[in-house]
Amino acid sequence: MTEMETYLNTALQRLEKAAREILKTSGYDNKFEATQVLKELVKEQVRDEDSRTATRQTR
């Protein structure tokens, strides 16, 4: 795993933890949705921001 991939995976874990905390404390809200946006952006970076692939992998 490259240094960048390590950063990204760590970031993903932190975002997932943050999302769980938000759901626990304030429930499904705007902040939770913002966390999901960020999480998906990081996931795209893991795939080298391959937005074409990203358009095809949601199923």
Partner 1 sequence: MKILVLQLARLGDIYMTWPALRGLRRQYPEAEIHLLVRPRFAAATEGLEAVDQVRLLPTTEFLAPVMQTDADVDGAVGRVQYYLETLKAEGFDRIVNLSYSPVSSWIVKSISTETTEVQGYTRHADGWLSVADDVSAFYHAQGGVTGASRVHLTDLFASVLNVDLIAEDWQAPVFADQSVGEFDVILHPGASENAKTVSAFHWGRLIRRLHDLHPQARMAMIGTANEAALAESILQLIPGTAVENLVGSTKVRDLFPLIGRAKLVIGGDSVAMHIGSLTGTPCFNLSIGPVNPYETGPRSGGSWILRADSADLLKLEEAGQVAADLLNGVIPRVGFSLLGQEAGFGSEFAWGLVRALYLGDDFPVVDDLRFVQAAEKLHEMNATVVEQLRKLSADDPFLANLLDRADEVLDAVVAFCPEAGVLVRWLKTEKTRIPPQDKAGISARMLDLHEQFGKVLRLYVWVDEPGKEGDHGPVQSER
Residues that bind partner 1 (CB under 8 A): 7-8, 10-11, 14-15, 18, 28, 30-38, 40-45, 49-52, 54-59
- Closest approach, Cβ 29 to partner 1, in A, equals 10
Q: How many helices (DSSP H) and strands (DSSP E) are in the chain?
A: 3, 0
- Closest approach, Cβ 8 to partner 1, in A, equals 8
User: What is the 8-class DSSP label of residue 57?
Assistant: -
Tokens of 55: 């358009």
Tokens of 59: 């199923």
- Closest approach, Cβ 1 to partner 1, in A, equals 15
